[in-house]
Structure 1
Amino acid sequence: MNIQVNTQEEMTYDLAIDAMGGDNAPDIVIKGLDATALRHSNVKVLLIGDEAKIAPLLKQYPRVAEICTIRHTSVSVPMDMKPTAALKLRDSSLRMAMESVAQKESKGVVSAGNSGAMLALAQIIVKTMPGIARPAMAAISPTAKGDVVMLDLGANVVCDCRNLVDFAIMGNAFAKAVLGLRHPTIGLLNVGSEELKGDERLRAAADVLRNSPLSDQFHGFIEGHDITAGTTDIIVTDGFTGNVALKTGEGALKLVFHLLKQVYTSGLRGKLGYLMVRPGLERMKEWLDPRRYNGAVFVGLNGVVVKSHGGADEVGFAYAVDVAMDMITHGFYEEILTGLSQVNPAENAVMPKK
């Protein structure tokens, strides 16, 4: 096990992990990193948190100890703390993780901690990429045809044309890095698929994308039912609509499983039917397991910043780390820079194709 306290030591890490963030930290963080050590054998992790709590856990997980360096701090951000208060904690594990990325010591951050504090610290310390007006929150969801990237999911309640085009550029980079798609399709979420539907900002964003180097990937407007149908690989929307759509989808999945449970426990016939369809239901449950989709990403920052669900278990946290590693390994940041160099939404114009 490595123990480090000097932030200026000449060593670079793939990830800075907030070991104290989340409802069940640091236990689920260490257990999740055990899977990371198996999947990413050469990964280097800066583990930031209370050494007195972390060190005993690492003795139980020698694989994690091999990939980690501890940086001690006894200060953490409570899950219910307001972002303004969290900004004042100079030595919190979450802040120190962000500073590690800002100082180019680490390439990315993963935390299961306070969402509001995480976004505030990321914007102030890691900072927004040149050419991006606002960072967005992106995540992966299941569809009938595979996985889909959706953004924004709540970071920006009100968006203009430029924001939406930025989201399309960032979503394109995300889908390439995390989903491995070479030419992901892009859809703008609207109240109808016709070109005249929606407000001025949506129509203006659509015009920019239709006349940009992303034109062959731009599907056009899509509607709510297209989200689960998998009509496009990327869904672009404002944070208000995206958050409502996400929570509605999560609620619908819970309702489906609740109704299935009622059907198959309602009587002898139901129980016999369950025995027949159980293998298929188990596969469906595994496919729709929310832990597989853990790891919302704040895209548009000068580094990879991944937010794990606060209540995630070790399996979910490991998936969040996987998302961060995919983004680092597959040049997510560079892909966004390429997209920005080709499309100039600030002037609502298109740069000439090379």
Structure 2
Amino acid sequence: MPPPEHVLAPAPAPEPAPYLSANPDFARRFASHVDPSPPAEPFGLAPVDLAGLALDAAHRTLGGGWGAAIVATTVLLRSTLTLPLAVYQHQTALKMVQLRPLLRAWERAIAHQVRAESRQANLSYDQFVAQYKRQYARKIGELYHDHGVRPLFTALAPLAQAPLWITMSLTLRRMAAVPGTEPVSVLVRDYGPAPLVDADAGPLLDLIVPHLAATDATWISACAFGAMQLANVELAALSMLSPPPSPPASKTAPTVEPSATVAGPASDASDAPATPATPAAPAVGWTRHAVIKHMMRATAVLMVPIAHAMPAGVVLYWFTSAAFSVVQNVVFKIWLPRRYLASQAELEQANADADRAADPRRNKDSV
């Protein structure tokens, strides 16, 4: 018996979306949802949603692929969020350099004052050193406060990049449908749960990865990112405004024997130099600065296998952010300090020429 006419034939099964066929793990997770449709209100205020909105705006504005959107969004966010902190950090370092002659003058004055007080109070040499350090640290704090210098804030300024780095990395991981992540809600309605799958990787990444959600099996992008990180470590450790390291204490100050700490305080305080002797220099290569630098180098090397396991879109963001940091460090660690030192040298030369011209012994017309 033929079926009645009003009975409709079953609709053909829809073809699977390209992002589901490209990522079987995500396909199984996506199929397990009762309602895979986007939420009623896809726009939220979570950091991942805000990053998704920024990427979506760059993608629509540029009209290109997601690779160009990732690069443009990275440059824009770094320029507006982290670059002002780098400018403030450079200005603070410049103020500290300008205060250095004043600090040296106070260092000598405080040393003479504490030496006289220690002689009158019959203090030991160790007590003299402790008193000198307390007064000198207090004076440094007063000078920095009066001139608006905040060394602690300057040291913590580079950490402000961490929230941005984590947010963008998590957003791109979700856009690449990495197992264990949920789709970015603001992008589901227009692009689907995984916009980076089958997305154009760009003119250079196309040679090593098929799309931005795939991993780089050649290790080229991961090694390039690691090299950029190592360059950042070397540039960040460079400071042309810092004074040259002082020679070891054993060559500039007499060695204080342990038994001298309990000797007669009057002779110890009166025989002490104008500035207290610094402790013996640690072994070369194991100073605090060197240890931090070696740890940062090891971190840059360890990031290479981590980048190898990440989607190409995430590695592209990491590489772009590291390249931005390289340019930033070159400007603030090399170019601007060289300009400042050159201007200071010209100013000192002009002052010396003016002093020689004003000296009556060198001016025959004034005699």
User: The TM-score by the shorter chain falls in which range?
Assistant: under 0.3
| TM-score normalised to structure 1 length | 0.20
Task: Considering Cα pairs closer than 8 Å and 6+ residues apart, tell me whether 1 or 2 has the greater RCO.
Answer: 2
Larger radius of gyration: 2
| TM-score normalised to structure 2 length | 0.20
